[in-house]
Amino acid sequence: MKKPVYLDYNATTPIDEEVAKEMIPYIETFYGNPSSSYQMGKQNKEAIEQARKQVAGLINCKPGEIVFTSGGTESNNIAIKGIAFANKGKGKHIITSSIEHPAVTEVCKYLTKYGFEITYLPVDKYGAVGIDDLEKAIREDTILISIMHANNEVGTIQPIEQISSIAKSKGVFVHTDAAQSVGKIETNITKLGVDLLTIAGHKLYAPKGIGALYIRHGVKVENIIHGASQERGISPGTENVTGIVGLGKACEIAQRNLGKNQRHLLNMRERLLKGLLVELNNIVTVNSDLNNSLPNTLSVAFDKVEAHTLASLISNDILISTGSACHSGLTRISSVLKAMNMNIMTAASTVRISIGKNTTKEEIDFAVSIITNAVNRLL
Ligand SMILES: Cc1ncc(COP(=O)(O)O)c(C=O)c1O
């Protein structure tokens, strides 16, 4: 077993071997510009279109509805600002949730400078938004609802299908940041019913710095980056062909193995939680609703154990993340845990353990024993 054991797959994932193999020719040999009309250019253009089909296959949309971007952050920016500026004549009200990633909340905050009003929906103790709250929040001038598919810290899955159906009846666009869910659970556009969906490559075993945005056919976004006509002018600039080829392959692999991976992740998470409960039963609090969360994510608090101290104590053996940021001795709890109304002690004791598709039983058992020993030392 290689140490430290990586259990922070919601932060990022390693590049899949098959993905890397697919990318190598585009690093070593095929360097032509996809916009060039000679063969070496055309070859790269074809590779991009093949990847577009692979991404579309995973989320069940048409290839023409996929725009390649530099990642989750750019996709969210294009979706939210693009819809806001294209529809400002209709209204200037946007609804989001109080547990979004900064790649959504900071975009919303920026839009307030241009007269947009933002409603942040509250969440329950597990981080789920309420449909009643959403219905009450929709106004005559609401143009967009942007709610993440699954949360990065606690893994909670939002009722996107219901949200889309309500939004549709009111003529409101829906965007979902699916950076954490694509490749881990089903993200079928037909079922989700959204107009825009964000994909981040590095969360599904593709490289960092590549992503995609699904834009439903016929939905107009105003360009927020200006340049040449690549990616329909929505994400202009010479394409990251190597990254795009990698993302395409990663999506093909994810589609092929979705069911198998989901079962494996659930088994590993169950083994991990069981192990922790056997050893530390009376001090473990599970923060997420395990029946409605990403199969790989376990957010847990160990009573009276400071999460940063724990994570750093075990970092030579296993890598996990915490639910708080620690700056100059002050602990600031995450906005997600705060929105879940978690008491400050539990939040400061919260760690996120996120499992990968290749995580083994041995790694999980090792993590249980390392965490148990460290927690017992810190109590
Ligand atoms: C939910 C969510 N949205 C957006 C992002 C940003 O994606 P990227 O790092 O590809 O810009 C992340 C990454 O941490 C994320 O977890």
Ligand 1 atom 5: residue of nearest CA: 72
Alpha helices by DSSP H, listed for the chain, are 17-28, 39-59, 72-86, 102-111, 131-137, 160-170, 189-192, 241-280, 307-313, 335-339, 344-348, 361-378
Which of 69, 101, 104 best tests ligand 1's pocket when mutated (most atoms within 8 Å of CB)?
101
Report phi then psi at 43, rounded to 5. -55, -45
Residues 246 and 264 in one domain: no
Note the pLDDT tens digit of each residue in 181-195: 999 999 999 999 999
Residues 71 and 193 in one domain: yes
> Which residue, 134, 131, 82, 72, is CA-closest to 104?
72
Amino acid at 34: P
Residue with tokens 């991976």: 261
Peptide bond into 63 cis (omega under 30): no
Helices 39-59 and 241-280 pack at an angle, to 10 degrees, of 30
**Using a 6 Å cutoff on CB, does residue 156 contact ligand 1?**
no
pLDDT of residue 323: 74
Whether pLDDT at 357 is above 80:
yes
Note the pLDDT tens digit of each residue in 9-34: 999 999 999 999 999 999 999 999 99
Residues 102 and 212 in one domain: yes
Q: What is the CA radius of gyration of the chain?
A: 21
Q: Which ligand 1 atom lies nearest to the CA of residue 103?
A: 4
Whether pLDDT at 326 is above 80:
no
Residues 203 and 284 in one domain: no
Provide DSSP, 84-112.
HHHTTTT--EEEEETT--HHHHHHHHHHG
The rounded Å distance from CA 36 to ligand 1 centre is 32
Residues 95 and 138 in one domain: yes
Residues 29 and 69 in one domain: yes
Whether pLDDT at 351 is above 80:
yes
Which CATH number fits the domain that encloses residue 84? 3.40.640.10
Res. 327 pLDDT band, cuts 50 70 90: low
Note the pLDDT tens digit of each residue in 83-106: 999 999 999 999 999 999 999 999
Which strands sit side by side in the sheet containing 142-146, from one edge to the other? 66-69, 211-215, 196-200, 173-177, 142-146, 93-97, 117-121
| Residues 6+ positions from 46 with CB-CB distance below 8 Å | none
Q: What is the pTM of this model?
A: 0.98
Counting Cα atoms < 13 Å in the Cβ hemisphere of 22 gives 26
Note the pLDDT tens digit of each residue in 243-283: 999 999 999 999 999 999 999 999 999 999 999 999 998 99
| CA–CA distance, 339 with 154 (Å, rounded to integer) | 12
| CA–CA distance, 178 with 104 (Å, rounded to integer) | 12
Looking at residues 285-295, what average pLDDT do you find? 96
Whether pLDDT at 284 is above 90:
yes
Residue with tokens 């340049």: 227
| CA–CA distance, 88 with 85 (Å, rounded to integer) | 5
Residues 73 and 148 in one domain: yes
Note the pLDDT tens digit of each residue in 41-94: 999 999 999 999 999 999 999 999 999 999 999 999 999 999 999 999 999 999
**Using a 6 Å cutoff on CB, does residue 294 contact ligand 1?**
no
Of 254, 280, 308, the residue that ends a domain is 254
| CA–CA distance, 329 with 345 (Å, rounded to integer) | 16
Res. 328 pLDDT band, cuts 50 70 90: low
pLDDT of residue 332: 82
List the structure tokens of 112: 């307030």
| CA–CA distance, 164 with 168 (Å, rounded to integer) | 6
| CA–CA distance, 39 with 137 (Å, rounded to integer) | 54
Of 254, 289, 306, the residue that ends a domain is 254
The CA-atom distances, in angstroms, between 49 and each of 42, 62, 178, 218, 245 are 11, 12, 22, 20, 9
Return the DSSP state at 201. G
Amino acid at 108: C
Residues 266 and 225 in one domain: no
| Residue-number span of the structural domain to which 144 is assigned | 17-254
**Using a 6 Å cutoff on CB, does residue 100 contact ligand 1?**
no
**Using a 6 Å cutoff on CB, does residue 269 contact ligand 1?**
no
Note the pLDDT tens digit of each residue in 109-147: 999 999 999 999 999 999 999 999 999 999 999 999 999
Residues 237 and 325 in one domain: no
Residues 143 and 179 in one domain: yes
Note the pLDDT tens digit of each residue in 167-221: 999 999 999 999 999 999 999 999 999 999 999 999 999 999 999 999 999 999 9
The CA-atom distances, in angstroms, between 167 and each of 173, 219, 361 are 7, 15, 43
Residues 205 and 323 in one domain: no
Which CATH number fits the domain that encloses residue 374? 3.90.1150.10
Report phi then psi at 213, rounded to 5. -130, 125
**Structural domain total, the chain:** 2
Of 254, 285, 308, the residue that ends a domain is 254
Residues 227 and 112 in one domain: yes
Sign of CA pseudo-dihedral 62, 67, 70, 73: negative
Residue 108 appears among annotated catalytic residues:
no
